Chain A
């Protein structure tokens, strides 16, 4: 029971690394490539990433809220010791959001250059800072308590730097794989080839960084090293390494769709390996059980998640289906013409909605206001309901009156 939310956290972390990471990685590639070819790359990057940016970002929010709901003392210890990298990650996220929001308004190459620079800056800052945060936790540098750890050594240490740089390289790699896949689907061969080259390069860099991992962890984070080199931790590590090699092979063979999945598997496996290697400890001297919230909260959290996922998963599948089947691509077919005013049969709502009279609506609003003002308890609730209904009706009446 106490460990169930931790699984949600790790799943969220893996999803954010794969989806949000690819988004940040795309920022790095915006800087590469000059001239008309580079322009094509940038346009493609924006087109492919824009519709899914916000949704990809929400995974991080989930990781945060589940952590503070289910393991409050661990969350507070982490955030108060690792304040600097988390703050830097937040600043990077602001820059990313701003460059995204501004993209639709730029007109000149100079403006685009500035924006690409901001995006690229955030693309290094946020993955590195979050990776360094993970490194601080994984190398047992976060003691329990309010800001009890070292403000700098907790994230500027060999393990943090290893995971931080690995996060940046992985983000770049994932982004290139996805963008190559999207470009292939859009029939944009040149762009696809450009991203294939980048994917192979970034993949080799990420692999090389990962390969130094055992040496760094052996000297800097021995418990984590031991966990990852024995039992289930080792299994996860091997799965991750194998999936990484498979991904590189698939990219080399231009099989981008399966490469998406194997890349995600490589990330998920190493995140799971971290969890398995650290278990049952959350922070030094604090086990997962001790950090866990009371049962009522965890039960409520799990119920909330179950219901939430019932709504969320179909919606997310719908979005990814629209994106991945190319419905938002520039060349997508136009839909059938919209209905005329006469096709009232297809109306979403009865035309009676449009014949509300303003005086009646105003009277309803006034009645509701009077009841609200002079009552308490359930009668007040009735009054508020009447008042809000009256306000909506008055809005409808006044606006539709102009259309008749």
Chain B
């Protein structure tokens, strides 16, 4: 089959349900991303707790690591299947994208496959290996889980960075040629900030969600050493990460201002290119020059407006702006809450007593998930109408197959069931009597 025929076989198709296809993809990401946070951050917290047991002999730490490792495994299993759905959907929903660019970014997923494989192997060894190997060996088997969680997300984020800032190929008759797979993925100016932003987010989400659960227990009067240690680990991790995220977010915004000016313009709904552009939040006053200052660290800088491209090439501004403000707003609140926690922790070397602190802690978990999803919407919907920024439109990537609404509804029902199942299993694991693990811990400590 000649090349030009091949390219035309994947030319644009009629797809009535493009929006549903995008929503189905979005729903699948929304289900997967919180689990990714646990895959990236939780292993480090679990292994850290085990390391503290190794160093201090404190059985509470071992109990914590043991109980958390079961949660880690259950969440990993769910993450495995939601991640599998995502890789299926790349082909099922976006064959035009895959046919044209699969060979440009595919290497990233191949390497991610290896990370995922290592993670699966060592997470099994770690969780099923409690008291089946020497404590030192067991602790060491946790290290590959941490490393693979980081490298796996790194490779996937490399693909996302490429979609937002594509390079490393040339288009010829609709097919990518002169492909440089390594450069396309790893020589990308978007990779560093996206990776650090996501990695820090993972600690914020995992930390605050864990703190929500134990904070609830705390308010109900469960304030033993076990809860104290759990809260100290989770809250400290999230509280250290939250202020850092403000700085990383600023770095990300500066890069977006340089490379995707239209996306940045949609954050503020800046219609025209403006020198010394102002910034406002809905209902608040307009602060002159603030957008220029935020985006370029220069109050007089010129910010490109939406009108720099035709209307067809602009993202849906309302959604992008609302998600951006949600992310920044919640992020700022979480940083302030973190400052409260860190202040008390450094000054009094303990956990805060105020019930208002604990009410806020319970809210912080769900809020951090909302900020996470809002952040994802900001960058991905902000990329629209492009699937590969300024190279391929999403409508040219979509499948010609029928029945998207049926698939969407089916997956929605299945995922709703999955959500119920996850909540159920987490409650069950939390309700397991401490004695079960205490017996196991004392059995080994007493030896």
A-B interaction = yes
Bits for A320-346, please: 1 = Cβ < 8 Å to B, else 0: 001000011000101111111100101
Task: Tell me if A305 and B91 are in contact (CB < 8 A).
Answer: no
Q: From known contacts A69-B102, A146-B99, infer whether A97 and B80 are also in contact, taking CB-CB under 8 Å.
A: yes
Cβ of B18 to closest chain A Cβ, rounded Å:
13
Task: Tell me if A83 and B92 are in contact (CB < 8 A).
Answer: yes
The winner among A102, A308, A338 for most chain B CB atoms within 10 A is A338
Task: Tell me if B399 and A80 are in contact (CB < 8 A).
Answer: yes
Cβ of B414 to closest chain A Cβ, rounded Å:
6
Tell me which residues from 154 to 207 in chain B have a Cβ below 8 Å from any Cβ of chain A. Answer: 176-182, 192, 196
Which residues of chain A are within 8 angstroms of B81 by Cβ–Cβ distance?
Answer: 93-94, 96-98
Task: Tell me if A341 and B56 are in contact (CB < 8 A).
Answer: yes
Task: Tell me if B232 and A65 are in contact (CB < 8 A).
Answer: no
Task: Tell me if A61 and B87 are in contact (CB < 8 A).
Answer: yes
Closest B residue by C-beta to A69: B106
- For the complex, is B319 an interface residue (Cβ under 8 Å from A)? no
Tell me which residues from 52 to 92 in chain B have a Cβ below 8 Å from any Cβ of chain A. Answer: 52-58, 70, 73-78, 80-82, 84-85, 87-88, 90-92
Task: Tell me if A316 and B55 are in contact (CB < 8 A).
Answer: no
Measured CA separation A399–B231 after assembly (Å): 10
Which residues of chain B are within 8 angstroms of A55 by Cβ–Cβ distance?
Answer: 117, 120-121, 124
- For the complex, is B212 an interface residue (Cβ under 8 Å from A)? no
- For the complex, is A319 an interface residue (Cβ under 8 Å from B)? yes
Describe A's contact surface by its main secondary structure: helix
Choice from B96, B236, B410 contacting A399 with Cβ under 8 Å:
B236
Measured CA separation A327–B129 after assembly (Å): 8
Cβ of B140 to closest chain A Cβ, rounded Å:
8
Q: From known contacts A55-B124, A296-B180, infer whether A75 and B424 are also in contact, taking CB-CB under 8 Å.
A: no
Closest A residue by C-beta to B94: A76
Which residues of chain A are within 8 angstroms of B1 by Cβ–Cβ distance?
Answer: 144, 285-287, 290
Task: Tell me if B106 and A98 are in contact (CB < 8 A).
Answer: no
Which residues of chain B are within 8 angstroms of A64 by Cβ–Cβ distance?
Answer: 87-88, 91
Task: Tell me if A328 and B128 are in contact (CB < 8 A).
Answer: yes
Measured CA separation A249–B202 after assembly (Å): 53
Which residues of chain B are within 8 angstroms of A395 by Cβ–Cβ distance?
Answer: 236-237, 240
Tell me which residues from 83 to 106 in chain A have a Cβ below 8 Å from any Cβ of chain B. Answer: 83-84, 86-87, 89-91, 93-98, 100-102, 104-106
Q: From known contacts A57-B120, A94-B81, infer whether A294 and B232 are also in contact, taking CB-CB under 8 Å.
A: no
Task: Tell me if A146 and B9 are in contact (CB < 8 A).
Answer: yes
Which residues of chain B are within 8 angstroms of A319 by Cβ–Cβ distance?
Answer: 121, 124-125
Choice from B78, B104, B400, B424 contacting A105 with Cβ under 8 Å:
B424
Which residues of chain A are within 8 angstroms of B43 by Cβ–Cβ distance?
Answer: none
Closest A residue by C-beta to B99: A76
Tell me which residues from 95 to 149 in chain B have a Cβ below 8 Å from any Cβ of chain A. Answer: 95-96, 98-104, 106-107, 109-114, 116-118, 120-125, 128-129, 131-136, 139-140, 144
Task: Tell me if B403 and A384 are in contact (CB < 8 A).
Answer: no
Tell me which residues from 239 to 286 in chain A have a Cβ below 8 Å from any Cβ of chain B. Answer: 285-286
Cβ of B133 to closest chain A Cβ, rounded Å:
6
Closest B residue by C-beta to A398: B236
Measured CA separation A107–B432 after assembly (Å): 11
Choice from B123, B229, B418, B447 contacting A54 with Cβ under 8 Å:
B123
Task: Tell me if B179 and A83 are in contact (CB < 8 A).
Answer: no
Measured CA separation A61–B90 after assembly (Å): 12
Choice from B135, B241, B350 contacting A391 with Cβ under 8 Å:
B241
- For the complex, is B444 an interface residue (Cβ under 8 Å from A)? yes
Cβ of B294 to closest chain A Cβ, rounded Å:
11
Cβ of B447 to closest chain A Cβ, rounded Å:
3
Task: Tell me if B120 and A297 are in contact (CB < 8 A).
Answer: no
Cβ of B316 to closest chain A Cβ, rounded Å:
25
Question: Which of these binds chain A: B244-252, B274-282, B283-291, B360-368?
Answer: B244-252
Given A50-B128, A105-B425, A290-B6: 9 more A-B contacts, CB < 8 Å: A68-B98, A83-B399, A83-B407, A95-B414, A294-B177, A305-B110, A337-B446, A346-B136, A348-B139
User: Could you list which residues of chain B lie within 8 angstroms of chain A, going by C-beta atoms?
Assistant: 1, 6, 9-11, 13, 48, 51-58, 70, 73-78, 80-82, 84-85, 87-88, 90-92, 95-96, 98-104, 106-107, 109-114, 116-118, 120-125, 128-129, 131-136, 139-140, 144, 176-182, 192, 196, 229, 232-233, 236-237, 240-241, 243-244, 247-248, 250-251, 254, 297, 342, 345-346, 349-350, 399-403, 407, 410-411, 414-415, 417-418, 421-422, 424-425, 428-429, 443-447
* A-B pairs, 7 with minimum CB distance: A69-B106, A79-B91, A72-B102, A97-B81, A293-B103, A337-B447, A105-B428
